[in-house]
């Protein structure tokens, strides 16, 4: 049998069979829109007759150098015949013409793809026939000019402004502002003018042959797959470029046939909050694009109940049916033609992070989906977004009191954003990539603005509503966004906006609140959201906890951080970097004295002064983590990091010498000498970590004493302490054999002194490839491993973790030399293989070896999945990422059951 390139909406069974019964396969074949139109047809939802040209046809067309594959066009013609039978109309017939729309539809919804072409089939003859039929010349010529305009811009690539400018001029001439005030003759005149525009721009006439229209529209959709904006969008949304798009040909139904007609878009639940209410807009006597474009003021969907009660009741019913069928919140488009309701699209609705979480939890509670599905449906990035900063309420109130509030629009995508204004997407991208925080401000956005929207911290538009392009895209990518702030008047030529009597020029600061829909001039400080108020998230994470195997610990250096991490659900502290405590103002001079001491005695004195500080810190952390393990890492960085900058001291010495100042000169010269003597060409590979401990054991001995004194003191107060002492940067087991017994002895001595025994472990960080390769030996001494993947990545790649990103690494990622930044996501093949080897070898020696990760990767969902796969016990990440990690760990466990 010849290849089947075209499926009628009623042929979904056949489509399903051809892909082996799998719904994802049907979506791949027909595209999301086509698959759902067919599915709605199958379950008895009223869909206008039509058909889909497959994504395979698109790929075949593009591969063959823009040639329809054999048999495709014939199948399209045959499908048109069937639609003619179903509708009782004829394509191109002057008396009873069939009109169709042509819509692109890839597997995944892509706002960056080709727009729709409506009213295909109209020409000078059929238009006359339509007038006879409808007795409504105004309606017919409005439809005809729309076809010429859409065909001209979408299919033939003429800029839409060429048409819109003429339309605006005519309205101005007539002294009117609304399209609805134009007469039949006006539309007729515009149709002719629009045809002239086509001729002028393209050198040929607007095609009168309906089949030619259909053919060119089909080709245009195919070609749009590799249009710049589609490619950009796919790159940003990580959609594969080889999927192709379907082409949907759908019988036209008209929402602009009078006041019994209308059209709208709706979500089956509120896409901003997730509340279980219908949410959407509609217009009576209008076509779909009028609603989306925001030209006329739309009405709220529930008002339709009063306007057209029967159609509304049926609509509510269908929305419920679709949600039950798809078990997902739907985003639908509908048209009512003379009282009859038609569904033109349904798809899973895009939503804010907050809504995603609420909908998942509600649907599980409603019994529509399982808890496991609810957990899988929320993306780790949703959790991240929800915990985004918000404006400090007091500061915001004060800004409002000072008259800095410029406008209020629709709260399209939540979160607070502060940045400088850029009035176009290219500039927003340029500034954003250059490291500036940018708020992109536009009257409205179009698909080819997406690159600027992604580079911006926030988006503000003066037009459009909750379902406008800006709103949909911003929500998807978690960019705070306010749309339809109609008090803002934007002057693109003068590069400034005016609102509430304030002029804001390009490059000046703006703060927008995507949660409340407000915009302010200037910078408003932001605050972190309150996790404990996010009850749906807390519920969802409690379900996630039931599925995950990995524990989630946190990296915290101070008692407050530890307490916060625990609040977020951390089950332990995986890394407490003790040296951070050395940098505090009153401690640093003591640390420096300790480093510079010329005698053992002098050093011991300084260490003795430091001990109470460290003990106090540890007591606080143990208390905050009562009952949970706390890993404390012994000093890691090279000592020069605690001393002043060599250059600064040198400059000071020179200045003193030049000015002949003697006061303090000798001390500074001594300091300079000490710093110079510690100089290493390659300090990250120098005397740091365990090496430093072996050469200068006094510091770690003090630290271990402080840890155990703190632990015993807390234990005596009834706190359940579980200290785990971590030795950094081990490369050879002999290093541990030298230092660890000395430290264990101190631990035992302190416990004996304090008369209390606490549970403890000594272990090591795995940060050096050699430690991975010899992990069986290392585990003979170390009682636990924690991967320091920051250093392990640095050492494995040989990339300096401090310099690589600023020099070559981002280019590597952009050019695809590396698939991702290995300092963010674990390089599974390289670094990951070493980790896997370390786990296996380590456990071969010590079967109950506890293994975790405390590098930055511990909070990265992809890396967390890898940690799950190699059987680690836990991941440890920054406190704010703990909720993300809890969810990501559950995703990994469910996916790899
Ligand atoms: C690491 O190297 O991954 C690590 C956690 O240690 P630091 O970042 O302190 O070197
Ligand atoms: Mg390290």
Q: What is the pLDDT of residue 115?
A: 75
Contact call for residues 97 and 122 (beta carbons, < 8 A): yes
Q: What is the pLDDT of residue 559?
A: 92
Q: What is the pLDDT of residue 151?
A: 96
- Nearest-angstrom CA–CA distance, 545 and 890: 7
- Nearest-angstrom CA–CA distance, 493 and 380: 41
Q: What is the pLDDT of residue 413?
A: 80
Residue 380 has pLDDT above 70, yes or no: yes
High-pLDDT (> 90) share of the chain, %:
77
| Cβ neighbours for 719, distance < 8 A, ≥ 6 positions apart | 622, 623, 626
Quick check: CB of 788 below 6 Å from ligand 1? yes
Quick check: CB of 789 below 6 Å from ligand 1? yes
- Nearest-angstrom CA–CA distance, 828 and 794: 14
Residue 688 has pLDDT above 80, yes or no: yes
Q: What is the pLDDT of residue 296?
A: 67
Q: What are the beta bridge partners of residue 552?
A: 875
C-alpha 125 to ligand 1 mean position (Å): 75
Residue 801 has pLDDT above 90, yes or no: no
C-alpha 506 to ligand 1 mean position (Å): 41
C-alpha 836 to ligand 1 mean position (Å): 19
Tens-digit pLDDT profile for residues 39-92: 999 999 999 999 999 999 999 999 999 999 999 999 999 999 999 999 999 999
Residue 463 pLDDT grade (very low, low, confident, very high; cuts 50, 70, 90): confident
| Mean predicted lDDT score pLDDT of the chain | 93
Q: Please state, as a whole number, how many other Cβ atoms lie within 10 Å of the Cβ of residue 402.
A: 11
Which atom of ligand 1 sits closest to the CA of residue 791? 2
Which atom of ligand 1 sits closest to the CA of residue 728? 6
Which ligand approaches the C-alpha of residue 854 most closely?
1
Q: In a 3-state reduction of DSSP, which class is residue 155?
A: helix
- Nearest-angstrom CA–CA distance, 126 and 90: 10
Quick check: CB of 793 below 6 Å from ligand 1? no
- Which residue's CA is minimally distant from atom 4 of ligand 1? 788
Q: What is the pLDDT of residue 595?
A: 92
Active site residue ranges: 469, 854
Contact call for residues 611 and 704 (beta carbons, < 8 A): no
Quick check: CB of 458 below 6 Å from ligand 1? no
High-pLDDT (> 70) share of the chain, %:
98
For range 256-281, the mean pLDDT: 93
Residue 138 pLDDT grade (very low, low, confident, very high; cuts 50, 70, 90): very high
Q: Quick one: which H or E segment has residue 615?
A: helix 600-624
Residue 286 pLDDT grade (very low, low, confident, very high; cuts 50, 70, 90): confident
Q: What is the pLDDT of residue 112?
A: 66
73 vs 293, residue with greater confidence? 73
- Nearest-angstrom CA–CA distance, 652 and 663: 12
Contact call for residues 262 and 335 (beta carbons, < 8 A): yes
Quick check: CB of 636 below 6 Å from ligand 1? yes
Taken in order 382, 387, 389, 393, the sign of the CA dihedral is: positive
Q: What is the pLDDT of residue 294?
A: 58
Q: What is the pLDDT of residue 752?
A: 98
User: What's the N-to-C CA distance of the chain in angstroms?
Assistant: 41
Task: Give the total residue count for the chain.
Answer: 897
Residue 148 has pLDDT above 70, yes or no: yes
Residue 344 pLDDT grade (very low, low, confident, very high; cuts 50, 70, 90): very high
Residue 1 has pLDDT above 60, yes or no: no
1-5, 242-246, 796-800: least confidently modelled range: 1-5
For range 835-862, the mean pLDDT: 96
C-alpha 826 to ligand 1 mean position (Å): 14
Name the DSSP letter for residue 256: -
- Nearest-angstrom CA–CA distance, 562 and 567: 9
161 vs 123, residue with greater confidence? 123
- Nearest-angstrom CA–CA distance, 126 and 92: 6
Residue 178 pLDDT grade (very low, low, confident, very high; cuts 50, 70, 90): confident
Residue 240 C-beta-side C-alpha neighbours within 13 Å: 6
Please name which of 546, 468, 661 lies closest in space to residue 894, comparing C-alpha atoms. Answer: 546
Tens-digit pLDDT profile for residues 707-749: 999 999 999 999 999 999 999 999 999 999 999 999 999 999 9
Q: What is the pLDDT of residue 179?
A: 78
Instruction: Say which residue the tokens 């029967």 belong to.
Output: 310
For range 550-570, the mean pLDDT: 93
Residue 14 C-beta-side C-alpha neighbours within 13 Å: 12
Residue 256 has pLDDT above 90, yes or no: no
Tokens read off for 559: 């008692």
């Amino acid at each position: 049998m010849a290849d089947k390139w075209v499926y009628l909406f009623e042929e979904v069974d056949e489509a399903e069979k051809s892909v082996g019964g799998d719904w994802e396969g049907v979506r791949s074949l027909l595209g999301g829109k086509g698959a759902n139109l067919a599915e709605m047809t199958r379950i008895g939802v009223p869909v206008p007759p039509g058909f889909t040209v497959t994504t395979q046809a698109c790929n075949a067309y593009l591969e063959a150098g823009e040639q329809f594959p054999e048999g495709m066009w014939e199948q399209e013609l045959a499908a048109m015949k069937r639609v003619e039978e179903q509708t009782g109309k004829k394509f191109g017939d002057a008396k009873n013409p069939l009109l169709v729309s042509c819509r692109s539809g890839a597997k995944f919804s892509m706002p960056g793809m080709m727009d729709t072409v409506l009213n295909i089939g109209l020409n000078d003859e059929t238009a006359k026939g339509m007038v006879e039929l409808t007795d409504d010349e105004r309606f017919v010529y409005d439809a005809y000019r729309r076809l010429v305009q859409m065909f001209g811009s979408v299919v033939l690539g003429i800029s839409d402004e060429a048409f819109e400018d003429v339309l605006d001029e005519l309205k101005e001439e007539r002294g009117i502002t609304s399209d609805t005030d134009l007469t039949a003759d006006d539309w007729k005149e515009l149709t002719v003018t629009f045809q002239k525009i086509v001729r002028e721009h393209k050198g040929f006439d607007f095609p009168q042959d309906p089949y030619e229209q259909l053919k060119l529209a089909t080709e245009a959709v195919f070609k749009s797959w590799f249009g710049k904006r589609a490619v950009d969008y796919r790159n940003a949304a990580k959609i594969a470029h080889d999927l192709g798009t379907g082409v949907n040909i759908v019988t036209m139904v008209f929402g602009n046939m009078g006041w019994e007609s209308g059209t709208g878009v709706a979500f089956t639940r509120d896409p901003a909050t997730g509340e279980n209410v219908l949410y959407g807009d509609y217009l009576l006597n209008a076509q779909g694009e009028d609603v989306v474009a925001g030209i006329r003021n739309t009405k709220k969907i529930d008002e339709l109940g009063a306007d057209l009660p029967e159609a509304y009741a049926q609509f509510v019913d269908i929305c419920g049916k679709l949600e039950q069928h798809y078990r997902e919140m739907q985003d639908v488009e509908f048209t009512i033609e003379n009282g009859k309701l038609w569904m033109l699209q349904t798809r899973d609705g895009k939503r804010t992070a907050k809504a995603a979480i609420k909908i998942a939890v509600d649907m599980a509670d409603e019994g529509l989906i399982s808890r496991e599905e609810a957990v899988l449906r929320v993306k780790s990035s949703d959790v991240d977004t929800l915990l985004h900063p918000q404006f400090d309420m007091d500061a915001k109130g004060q800004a409002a009191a000072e008259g800095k509030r410029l406008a209020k629009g629709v709260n399209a995508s939540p979160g607070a954003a502060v940045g400088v204004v850029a009035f176009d997407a290219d500039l927003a991208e340029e500034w954003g990539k250059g490291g500036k925080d940018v708020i992109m401000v536009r009257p409205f956005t179009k698909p080819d603005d997406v690159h600027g929207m992604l580079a911006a911290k926030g988006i503000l538009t003066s037009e459009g509503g909750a379902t406008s392009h800006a709103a949909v895209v911003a929500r998807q990518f978690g960019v705070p966004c306010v749309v339809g702030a109609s008090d803002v008047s934007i002057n693109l030529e003068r590069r400034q906006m005016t609102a509430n009597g304030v002029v804001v020029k390009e490059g000046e600061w703006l703060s927008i609140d995507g949660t409340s829909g407000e915009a302010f001039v200037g910078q408003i400080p932001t605050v972190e959201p309150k996790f404990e108020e996010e009850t749906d998230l807390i519920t969802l994470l409690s379900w996630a906890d039931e599925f995950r195997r990995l524990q989630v610990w946190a990296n915290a250096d101070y008692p407050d951080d530890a307490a916060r991490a625990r609040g977020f659900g951390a089950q332990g502290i995986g890394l407490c970097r003790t040296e951070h405590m050395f940098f505090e103002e009153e401690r640093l001079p003591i640390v420096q004295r300790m480093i510079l001491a010329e005698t053992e005695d002098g050093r011991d004195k300084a260490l003795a002064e430091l001990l109470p500080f460290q003990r106090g810190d540890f007591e606080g952390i143990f208390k905050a983590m009562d009952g949970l393990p706390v890993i404390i890492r012994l000093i890691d960085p090279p000592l020069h990091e605690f001393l002043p900058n060599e250059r600064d001291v040198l400059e000071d010495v020179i200045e003193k010498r030049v000015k002949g100042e003697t006061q303090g000169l000798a001390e500074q010269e001594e300091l300079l000498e000490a710093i110079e003597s510690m100089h290493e060409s390659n300090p990250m590979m120098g005397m740091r970590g365990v090496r430093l401990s072996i050469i200068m054991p006094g510091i770690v001995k003090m630290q271990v004493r402080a840890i155990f004194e703190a632990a015993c003191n807390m234990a005596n107060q009834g706190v359940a302490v579980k200290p785990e002492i971590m030795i950094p940067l081990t490369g050879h087991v002999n290093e541990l054999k030298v230092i660890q017994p000395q430290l264990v002895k101190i631990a035992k001595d302190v416990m004996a002194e304090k008369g209390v025994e606490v549970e403890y472990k000594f272990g090591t960080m795995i940060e050096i490839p050699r430690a991975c390769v010899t992990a069986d030996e290392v585990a003979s001494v170390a009682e636990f491993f924690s991967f320091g993947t920051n250093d392990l990545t640095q050492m494995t790649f040989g990339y300096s973790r401090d310099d690589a990103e600023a020099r070559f690494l981002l280019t590597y990622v952009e050019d695809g030399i590396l698939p991702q930044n290995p300092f963010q996501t674990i390089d599974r093949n390289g670094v990951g293989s070493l980790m896997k080897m370390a786990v296996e070898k380590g456990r071969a020696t010590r079967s109950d070896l506890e293994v975790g990760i405390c590098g930055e990767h511990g909070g990265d969902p992809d890396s967390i999945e890898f940690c799950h796969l190699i059987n680690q016990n836990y991941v440890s990440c920054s406190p704010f990422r703990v909720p993300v990690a809890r969810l990501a760990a559950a995703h990994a466990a469910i996916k790899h059951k």
